[in-house]
């Protein structure tokens, strides 16, 4: 019985077929979705709305918590623990929990998933202007 996958000693591997060449002048296709410029413009729109409309009158804890959530946002949501938010915002854990709740009541933050011990980090969505409270 001869196994074609085993090459006897002293023999050379047969040449493999090269990958098909891409036509000149064509770039590899990109996945469908927003372009990086469109994503960046959308993020600036959220940031500008928050600074121009929503930030005035908010306590420092809520402002810093919102900015941490905004900074951590990737593809529309931020996956981060309350402890990490508290450390980055320079706010106590209990003030951070309170700030998230108040931002949620104002319609500036949506808690998409509430994590916990052995459940992973929470997932948030930050808005630049108040949305209808849940």
Examine the pLDDT at 129 and tell me if it is beyond 90.
Answer: no
Q: Which CATH number fits domain 58-134: 3.40.1280.10, 3.20.20.10, 1.10.10.10, 3.40.190.10?
A: 1.10.10.10
> Residue ranges of the alpha helices (H) in the chain?
36-49, 60-72, 82-89, 93-106
- Per-residue pLDDT, 116: 87
Q: What is the phi/psi pair of residue 43, to 5°?
A: -65, -40
Which whole number is the average pLDDT over 10-38?
A: 61
* 34 Cβ contact partners less than 8 Å away, ≥ 6 residues apart: 42
Examine the pLDDT at 8 and tell me if it is beyond 90.
Answer: no
pLDDT band at 7 (very low <50, low <70, confident <90, very high): low
Residue 75, Cβ neighbours under 10 Å: how many? Answer: 8
């Amino acid at each position: 019985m001869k196994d074609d996958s085993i090459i006897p000693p002293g023999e050379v591997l047969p040449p493999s077929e090269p990958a098909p060449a891409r036509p000149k002048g064509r770039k590899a296709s990109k996945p469908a979705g927003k372009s990086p410029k469109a994503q960046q413009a959308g993020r600036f729109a959220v940031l500008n709305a928050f600074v121009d409309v929503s930030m005035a009158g908010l306590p420092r804890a809520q402002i810093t918590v919102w900015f941490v959530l905004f900074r951590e946002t990737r593809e529309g949501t931020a996956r981060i623990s309350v402890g990490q938010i508290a450390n980055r915002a320079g706010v106590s854990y209990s003030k951070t929990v309170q700030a998230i709740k108040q931002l949620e009541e104002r319609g500036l933050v949506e808690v998409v998933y509430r994590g916990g011990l052995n459940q992973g980090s929470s997932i948030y969505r930050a808005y630049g202007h108040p949305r209808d409270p849940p």
